[in-house]
Amino acid sequence: MSSESDAVVRVDGLCKVYGGKPAVDGISFEITTGETFALLGPNGAGKSTTIEILEGYRDRTAGNVRVLGVDPGHPTLAWKAQLGIVLQSTGEPGVMTVAEQLRHFARFFPNPRDVDETISAVGLTDKAGTRLAKLSGGQRRRVDVALGIIGNPRLLFLDEPTTGFDPEARHEFWDLIRGLTREGTTILLTTHYLDEAAQLSDRAGVIAGGHLIDIGPIDEIGGASARVPIVRWRDERGEHSVRTTEPGRTVADLVSSLGAEPPALEVIRPGLEDVYLDMVGAVHEHEEVAA
């Protein structure tokens, strides 16, 4: 199979302008079958605008977009039947019960999942007969996810799915998503939790200021240089930090030159979070200089 037909999502030069200001400014990426792709970025970076254009909710200003081979600017019901959409949280009154809501939504789709099995997959079997309004925020979010997967989607959109979850609920949610990945579901995830992206996704794209500033496998984001260990210590002249691929040798040299234990010595291997914060911070500085 060629890589062409493997692409579930293709985005090429996507632009979106609001009131003369670009919110998304020339973003390109692809997502292949079965992959989980994370879009990372600070609030207002253009993540949600991008995902809502792919979902068919927003019109784009320019660029080429194909989702499951269809232009989301011209959505059809048959196309929507293959998508699962978990929006950022909504405020519906919630007078129906969990089971009623899922049973009802299952009717919209040609090939839905089993309702009871889906309720159990999101861990709400005990709450199946409870009205949505009576659920906690985390439980309602799980209903959102259940509604997103009830149609057996080929492509699942998760827009900041675990905002407001406690750590335990987040881990359970990750297990649920891993299960969907094993079933072959392609997933596009936006999040500002870096650990979530690291846990769930194969590849990530980082958006800041409407630009895609990096894209790649999760452990290569920011490039090799961004992951070079940092040796940090303090002396009477202040704080020092040195980036080096040989932190052990640096520490040994430091100890012999000081003739003593360096105060507040740290050896840091930058994780995704550090790399990400550096990248986003650099974009901010750049923007401030430009402004």
Partner 1 sequence: MNMLALGGWRARYEVVSYFRSLDTVFFTFLFPLIMLGIFTAAFSAAGDIVVKPGQPGISVGAYYLPGMLAAGILLSGVQNLAVDIAREKSDGTLKRLGGTPLSPVSYFIGKVGQVFTTGIIQALLILVVARFVFGIALPTDPGRWLTFAWIFVLGIVTSSLLGIALSALPRSGRSATAVVVPLVLILQFISGVYLRFDQLPGWMQAIASIFPLKWMAQGMRSVFLPSDFVSLEPNDSWQLGWIALMLVVWFGAGLVISRLTFRWIRKDS
What are the residues binding partner 1 (CB under 8 A)? 18, 55-59, 77-78, 80-81, 83, 85, 87, 90-93, 95-96, 100, 104-105, 107-110, 147, 151
Question: Whose Cβ is closer to partner 1: residue 46's or residue 247's?
Answer: 46
CA distance 220 to 67: 26
DSSP letters along the chain, please?
--HHHHEEEEEEEEEEEETTEEEEEEEEEEEETT-EEEEE--TTSSHHHHHHHHTTSS--SEEEEEETTB-TTS--HHHHTTEEEEPSP------SBHHHHHHHHHTTSSSPPPHHHHHHHTT-GGGTTSBGGGS-HHHHHHHHHHHHHTT--SEEEEESTTTT--HHHHHHHHHHHHHHHHTT-EEEEEES-HHHHHHH-SEEEEEETTEEEEEEEGGGTTTGGGGS-EEEEEETTEEEEEE-S-HHHHHHHHHHHHTSPPTT-EEE---HHHHHHHHHHHHHHHHHHH-
Question: Whose Cβ is closer to partner 1: residue 80's or residue 203's?
Answer: 80
Question: Whose Cβ is closer to partner 1: residue 105's or residue 174's?
Answer: 105
CB of 18 to partner 1, least distance (A): 7
Question: Whose Cβ is closer to partner 1: residue 68's or residue 198's?
Answer: 68
CB of 91 to partner 1, least distance (A): 4
CB of 56 to partner 1, least distance (A): 8
CB of 89 to partner 1, least distance (A): 8
Question: Whose Cβ is closer to partner 1: residue 16's or residue 170's?
Answer: 16
CB of 85 to partner 1, least distance (A): 4
Question: Whose Cβ is closer to partner 1: residue 18's or residue 245's?
Answer: 18
CB of 77 to partner 1, least distance (A): 4
